[in-house]
Amino acid sequence: MRLRPDDNVIIIKGRDRGKTGRVQQIFPKQGKLLVEGVNIVMRHTKPTQNVRQGGIVQKEMPVRSNNVMLICPSSGKPTRVGYTRLADGTKARVSKQSGEIIE
C-alpha cells in the first residue's frame, strides 16, 4: 500500500466523493484505511461496563484504499504515487504529477 498515516487524501468514489481527510490508520491485509471525518456511520450500542450510556453513536469506518487518492503536497491536486531510488540507495515516494519527493 502506497499510503501512510498522516497523508492527506481525497475520496474519489462513493457517497463521500470529494471530501478530504487525514489518514489515521491503515489495514493492509484488508486493503482499507481509516480517514478522519469520512465514512461516518450510525451505530446502535447497548450499555455495557465500559460504555455506560447506550444509544446511537456516530463512528468512522474504514474505506477501501482504491477509493482514495493522495493529495500532492506541492500542487494540492490528487496524484498517483510512485517510487524512486535516491543517491544513497534508499527508496522514496514520488508524486507522479509533479515529480517531487513526498515526505
Domain identity same for 16 and 65: yes
Residue type, 74: S
pTM for the full model? 0.81
Domain identity same for 51 and 87: no
Q: What is the pLDDT of residue 69?
A: 94
Q: Provide the b/e sequence for 68-80 (b: ≥16 CB within 10 Å).
A: bbbbbeeeeebbe
Domain identity same for 65 and 77: no
How is 70-86 classified by DSSP, letter by letter? EEPTTT-SEE-EEEEE-
CATH code of the domain in which 9 resides: 2.30.30.30
- Beta pairing partners, 93: 83, 102
Domain identity same for 39 and 79: no
Q: What is the pLDDT of residue 53?
A: 85
pLDDT of the chain along its 103 residues, tens only?
789 999 999 999 989 999 999 999 999 999 999 999 999 999 999 998 887 888 998 999 999 999 999 999 888 899 999 999 999 989 999 998 888 888 7
Q: What is the pLDDT of residue 62?
A: 95
Q: 103: domain range?
A: 73-103
